[in-house]
Structure 1
């Protein structure tokens, strides 16, 4: 090879560096140009939850953070806790009328306005968190709910799940249906109507009023969420019997509700990002509860909480009462009927399949836990 054709490393490196710098500069210039096409948007979100309940309230702050990061700060949602703009139970209405652009709430808080709101959250004896997730994302649940919400100027996407909730705190044991007669229990929405059919006296109380009401005996029992959230409110100190399961909330979906007019104004890329961020929050909230609840329950029992399960007599009566309520609501409200009937076929197939692999595996592993072998290492 002649000297003139020898590889000139120094010259090549100089040219590569200049070219690389130019390419990098071109990339650096292009990014702001793309970002400049994305509008600056500032929304307000009304949460139905207090800041102290960090897991369920935190779903809204997580959405805000994810969205801000994905848009380089151009789409911001400012989160307000219950009571800062509107009372927690009015958050959905605030999104409907445009007081805020969006809300983070549970649909059954609005069941008195329209029973069909409850279908997007939870109905007694319908779904677990996992089956509700399957129904929402693959079974048409989100689309069915949004078809109903159009009349209220809303569009909604799931934004969290607590998993099956506990059945609440009781000042006395509940051993039979007679123990429910006249029982004054703090319980919200559709579940209250079911328990009323069983002879209970449902009470609608804000979270901050529950403890003093239990302490004074103004109410006999109260349901809230589950071990992690319940421990923060100290119910075990005044009502020691902790029952399960909360059959009225087998898989309660917490949702983001967006004002439909504001949603329609968004560029398609922002709509896509919002839906993606909502789904991430939906998944992450359940994971947080699944991680925090076991430890919290052990701590509650260590502090004197007495675990009890509702017996079959009570659960069967509650199931029958729920079906009576559904029949009544379906006869009165076409939107409720449409959504409820869509759930039924999905629910039937789900629990048929669950009797095979999942149930058998979980049951076997629970037996090992009760035998005390899961925490043992081999060898």
Structure 2
């Protein structure tokens, strides 16, 4: 993660009289008239186009969210910097985008860190790590203000020696436990299931007795149809519904500790990024922050609509994950944390997260309104 790009402009107080003001205005008007001849529009030949591939299928809501980011870059750059967005698999496999950006095959990608966690398990700590009590919005706070971006830079630049620079965006809502042919009644029902997930969540579910397959989104339904897996999670009601999860399972279990704090990684080839003007580097960074909000607002609207469609139109059973599954997950995380902490770098990352959570979540939780009580006052007992 690069340090924030900050442009500082200092101005000195200026004394002026009405006469000076009128005189200066006349000179400025003349200069503006001359400028129409002296300053032609920038040639389109000078436009820099960056080739970006996502890890998402064309129909996934995540591809729309990647496009939201690209639109902001293209419009803010006024035609002098453009991102050409490709779907997952257009150039390389969705899980291979980091390698392609590192080597320069791609200029950029839109992905999640967990897709390259095979290089170093610490990648999963930046989005799909142990649940210490913080949500994704608070997790982005840690990345931008709690030391996360510096720790991320240490991982990719110092430990892995990767030729990349990344920005993070979109605080993802908690990911559902997923889709099951038969609903889980207790944690005991987990044992023996063949389940799709990714990253440290795979370690978590394996420790709870599942057999785990790590697959990109586009391969999940075919694997379910062939019997390679018999349960899975991906991310959210919209993505899941669009790739047809409701056609291969009818029990959708909401709530889990397996992936409760994730966000997109928007990655650039570091050498390519360094060749761009400072103002274009700033646009790439700040567009990520703008898209982060826009993506989340879109998610609140469309995820909730699709959940209702799954329930009412597709006749899916919407079920809250049993409490003892949460309890089994958090205990399983304890064992994984103990193993991860044997690596000094990963211990440093988790210690940083814990320090952030202890302070920030304490404030937010004690201060938050009891929204469930307010909801049930107006709409009745929450079902599920």
Q: Which has more helix, going by share of residues? A: 1
Q: Name the CA shift for 1:137/1:368 in 2 (closer, same or farther; >3 Å).
A: farther
* Aligned residue number for residue 14 of structure 1: none
Equivalent residue runs for 1:335-374 within 5 Å: 335-358=345-368, 360-371=369-380
Whether 2:193 is the aligned partner of 1:187: answer no
> What do the CA deviations read for 1:318-362 (whole angstroms, capped 9, x no partner)?
11211211221221x33322222211111122332233232x342
Q: Name the CA shift for 1:32/1:368 in 2 (closer, same or farther; >3 Å).
A: farther
Whether 2:86 is the aligned partner of 1:109: answer no
* Aligned residue number for residue 11 of structure 2: none
Range with bigger deviation, 187-196 or 258-267: 258-267
Superposed structure 1 runs of 4+ greater than 6 Å apart:
17-21
Whether 2:84 is the aligned partner of 1:78: answer yes
Superposed displacement of residue 249, structure 1:
1.9
TM-score w.r.t. structure 2 length? 0.85
* Aligned residue number for residue 276 of structure 2: 266
* Structure 2 Cα separation of the partners of residues 348 and 175 of structure 1: 32
SS at match of 2:182: coil
* Structure 2 Cα separation of the partners of residues 310 and 350 of structure 1: 26
> What do the CA deviations read for 1:6-51 (whole angstroms, capped 9, x no partner)?
xxxxxxxxxxx99886454245457657x58x96322111211111
SS at match of 1:161: coil
SS at match of 1:82: coil
> What do the CA deviations read for 1:281-322 (whole angstroms, capped 9, x no partner)?
122111111111111111101121112222222111111211
* Aligned residue number for residue 99 of structure 2: 93
Match of 2:336 among 319, 325, 333: 325
SS at match of 1:208: helix
Residues 256 and 321, structure 2, Cα contact 8 Å, conserved in 1: no
Superposed displacement of residue 271, structure 1:
1.4
Match of 2:217 among 187, 207, 220: 207
Equivalent residue runs for 1:154-169 within 5 Å: 154-169=164-179
* Aligned residue number for residue 297 of structure 1: 307
Where structure 1 has 5 or more consecutive residues not aligned to the other structure, the ranges are 1-16, 374-379
Range with bigger deviation, 194-203 or 126-135: 126-135
* Structure 1 Cα separation of the partners of residues 33 and 273 of structure 2: 36
* Aligned residue number for residue 33 of structure 2: 25
Q: Name the CA shift for 1:352/1:21 in 2 (closer, same or farther; >3 Å).
A: closer
Residues 56 and 217, structure 2, Cα contact 8 Å, conserved in 1: no
TM-score w.r.t. structure 1 length? 0.86
* Aligned residue number for residue 12 of structure 1: none
Superposed displacement of residue 258, structure 1:
1.3
Whether 2:263 is the aligned partner of 1:253: answer yes
Superposed displacement of residue 216, structure 1:
4.3
* Aligned residue number for residue 143 of structure 1: 150
The alignment yields a C-alpha RMSD, in angstroms, of 2.6
Q: Name the CA shift for 1:344/1:29 in 2 (closer, same or farther; >3 Å).
A: farther
